[in-house]
Structure formats: C-alpha cells, structure tokens
Amino acid sequence: MLKRALVTTALSLATLLGLALPAHAVTLEQKLSALSGFSQPTQASAASWVSAWQNQAGWGDYAFNWSTDLCSSSPDQPLGFDFRMSCRRHDFGYRNYKAVSRFPANKSRIDDSFYFDMKQVCAGYSSVPRNTCNGIAWTYYQAVKEFGSLNVTDAEIERIRQDTEQAA
C-alpha cells in the first residue's frame, strides 16, 4: 500500500512538473493520473501540459494522442485573440479521455479548463479588448459545453448552413 502511494505521488509530482518518466509499461491508473494532472482549470496544470506538449516524445510510453484540429470549425484567433493553445489542450483532453473510455465523467472539467485557458489569454489585454476577448471565450465555452460531445461532420455543418440560407 505504501509503495503504491509513493508511486502515485511520484507520478503526480512528475506530471505537475512536466517531466517525462523512464521507459516502462504505463498502467491505466498512471495514464489517468497524468490526464487528470493535465486537465485541471489551474495555471499549474496548464503549464504542466504545455511542457509535456513541447516534449511529446518524452511521454511516448503513455501513447497520448496529441493531434488537434485547433478550434474545429471556429476561428482559432477570433479578432486576433489567440486561442490555439487553449484549443490544443482541450482537444488533448477530449481525445485522450475518449481513448480510455472516461470521457463523460471528465468532460465538464476539460471544458472548464478550456475556459480557464482562454481567460488567461484574455487577461493579457487592457480592459476594452479584454472584455471583448472574455465575451468570445464565454461563447466558445458555452458551445463546447453544449455541443462538445457531439460528433458533427463538416458535411453536416455545410448541410445546416445551406438549410439556414435557404430558409432566410
């Protein structure tokens, strides 16, 4: 029991510090611990994930899916506000929790982290642009909360767009 607690503590510390662990078979418990560390709505979690993202090869044993489509069908830099890294971390959470069949239980936290990340981007602006940025961040957040678990294809989006234009 003590050995397990020490291993879990070491993994959590390494995850928070963004360190790669030595090559070995990674258990589901270890992968879930790393995913949890990377998907919290905190500055430490975001920094840990960015460090890991910059050193993906160091996390090879975890077989994480680092792929991203950035902000999907929404602009990645609406009005110049750069949400690309926020969208990357969000995609990482969605893809990797889905891969281990734990997505529904973690979706809300991943979405909250997305909003946290976008608000951090907005915090770097003066009051008027910051308010605009925060409004866009809120809109993106509401969209992923509502529609983030849907698997909508580009063809379906185009069909809806065409239906909307015809109705107008």
Which residues are the active-site residues?
90
Token readout for 52 is 């890991």
- How far apart CA 35 and CA 39 sit, in angstroms, is 6
- How far apart CA 35 and CA 12 sit, in angstroms, is 10
| Nearest one of 140, 30, 33, 26 to 76, comparing CA atoms | 140
- How far apart CA 68 and CA 71 sit, in angstroms, is 8
Q: What angle do CA 166, 140, 65 make, to 5 degrees?
A: 105
38 and 92 Cβ atoms separated by less than 8 Å: yes
- How far apart CA 66 and CA 97 sit, in angstroms, is 12
Q: What share of the chain is helix, strand, coil (3-state, %, to 5)?
A: 70, 0, 30
